[in-house]
Amino acid sequence: MATFGTLSDRLTQSLANLRGKGRLSAADVDGTVREIRRALLEADVNLDVVKQFTGKVRERALEASQSQALNPAQQVVQIVNEELVGILGGQQRRLEFAKQPPTVIMLAGLQGAGKTTLAGKLAKWLVKEGHTPLLVAADLQRPNAVTQLEIVGEQAGANVYAPEPGNGKGNPVRVAKDSIKFARDKQYDVVIVDTAGRLGVDAEMMKQAADIRKAVDPDEVLFVIDSLIGQDAVATAKAFQDGVDFTGVVLTKLDGDSRGGAALSVAQVTGRPILFASVGESLDDFEPFHPDRMASRILDLGDILTLIEQAQGAFDEEEARKVAEKFATDTFTLDDFLKQMQQLRNMGSLKKMIGMLPGAKGMRDQLDNFDEREIVRTEAIIQSMTKAERVNPKLLNGSRRLRIARGSGMTVTDVNQLVQRFEQAAKMMKTVARGGVPQMPGMGPMPGAGFGGRKKQQPKKAGSRSGNPAKRAAENAARASGAPAAASAGGSGFGLGKGAAGAPTEDELAALQKMLGR
């Protein structure tokens, strides 16, 4: 499910009811605010936060309804967006690094919130940012917590400091304290301390977390919270703030969030910013939290900036320039197509990327039915081709396509469809590269795709308008010679005579192929 799925649907529906109204009455505003209040409460947003939020929205919306603005409904959408940004924390706050390495980051939270996996995600993100993080296994309480952190660290490309086996054995405070000296000696610039949690808040857990904090004096204490716990988020956050205190919040499991109340409550109630969000199970499903971008996602206004950042991280600029040149010179091959598909996959989930586009909620059914494995199938088909076949798809006759289908575990129909999609994509992109207007099959020019204004209309050339290549060539030849065009004798789908089985004969196909090859 999309991030804030149900809440987003309810809010966008409430605001959609305002469209088409020239002016808003007080009743319109009250009705909309009432729907927003109901949507927030059903999302398990804290009651005090709901009251404060809807009060501000109502006050500002009533002022907007009195203005002479051309579209007061859009003003209300803007007001709701700005207030959402406010309760999500306002401006983005980045990690604060120590002037003298290592920077110490301590993770705290309840058991099951996803701290250990989050430690791996944070470590991988820091590696991409050019840091050398060290993961510290200070959760010696939960069974196999140390082993899990070692596995996650290996996947993230980060080393793990785990001198104790865990499973109830060892002193977590001493492990955390010793890790700082170890990191300094081995020149790690960031230390991430994974601490123990409990199924509920208790004095023993708080004391251990407080002792670890005192021992390592962290630069950041991140409170990791499960986005699905709803109203409990506020009570848990307050308990940790009183017992340990924290400098920032990390939201986990946002991809499965049908309510989103935790995100809309914690920052407002505790006054601590949300720094990161975990949006999936993969270690790459992790991103810095931008209040303005998240508010736009909730209201289905899109998140183009995050989409661009992901694209910049996955696509090589030099490679993109080479591909553009190949499009323009008509030398784009299936090998290039394969590379583009692989880079697209490196960006992450296509569903999530499409979900960042404005208005994506209207494509919910199509997104839910989209199969992410289609890219893997495409790769399998192309990789089953020879080098010559990838460079020149015209070599793909029936026997070659059958061999490719068997080699990739697909059908001949799948191979045919891939080749057809490749040819259409190459043709469209070649048109764009040359400054033309791309044309979708059967749909005409794409709207808004022209560049530099309208071109002067060229005088139409006299000639046949037939959509049949053979018939068109025959009619044009007849016009040139002054003789009437010969009538088609067979009436098949191609305008050619029919063979014994109702299909064009081999001679006719050869003639057509020769004609099209000119």
How far apart are alpha carbons 329 and 433 in whole angstroms? 9
Task: Show Cβ contacts of residue 425 under 8 Å, excluding neighbours closer than 6 positions.
Answer: 337
Is 359 marked as a binding-site residue?
Answer: no
Q: Is 194 annotated as a binding residue?
A: yes
For strands 274-278 and 286-288, give the pairing.
antiparallel
Is 247 annotated as belonging to a binding site?
no
Q: Are strands 133-137 and 190-194 parallel, antiparallel or unpaired?
A: parallel
Q: Which residue has the tokens 């191979």?
A: 415
The answer to whether the beta carbons of residues 264 and 49 sit under 8 Å apart is: yes
CA dist., res. 256 & res. 227, Å (int): 9
Report how far residue 319's alpha carbon sits from residue 342's, in angstroms, rounded to the nearest whole number. Answer: 13
Q: Is 145 annotated as a binding residue?
A: no
Q: Is 198 annotated as a binding residue?
A: yes
Residue 62 annotated as binding? no
Q: DSSP labels for 75-118?
A: HHHHHHHHHHHHHTTSS--PPPPPSSSPEEEEEE--TTS-HHHH
**In this structure, which amino acid lies at residue 301?**
L
Residue 509 annotated as binding site: no
CB proximity list for 256: less than 8 A, separation 6 or greater: 1, 228
Q: Is 253 marked as a binding-site residue?
A: yes
Number of residues that this document lists for the chain? 518
Check the annotation: does 109 bind a ligand.
yes
484 cis-preceded (ω within 30 degrees of 0)? no
Farthest-apart Cα atoms in the chain, separation: 101
425 is in an annotated binding site: no
Check whether 142 is labelled as a binding-site residue.
Answer: no
Q: What is the 3-state secondary structure (H, E, C) of 342-363?
A: HHHHHCCCHHHHHHCCCCHHHH
Q: Is 114 annotated as a binding residue?
A: yes
Closest-CA residue to 186 (of 123, 126, 120, 132): 132
Is 186 labelled a binding residue?
Answer: no
Distance of CA 394 to the CA centre of its chain: 35
Rounded-to-integer distance, Cα 337 and Cα 47, Å: 52
111 annotated as belonging to a binding site for a ligand: yes
Whole-number Å distance between alpha carbons of 337 and 335: 5
Query: Cα 68 from chain centroid?
Result: 39
CA distance 517 to 244: 76
Tell me: is residue 134 an annotated ligand-binding position: no
CB 112 within 8 A of CB 244: no
Question: How many Å apart are CA 120 and CA 392, to the nearest integer?
Answer: 44
Annotated binding site for GTP: 109-116, 194-198, 252-255
Annotated binding site: 109-116, 194-198, 252-255
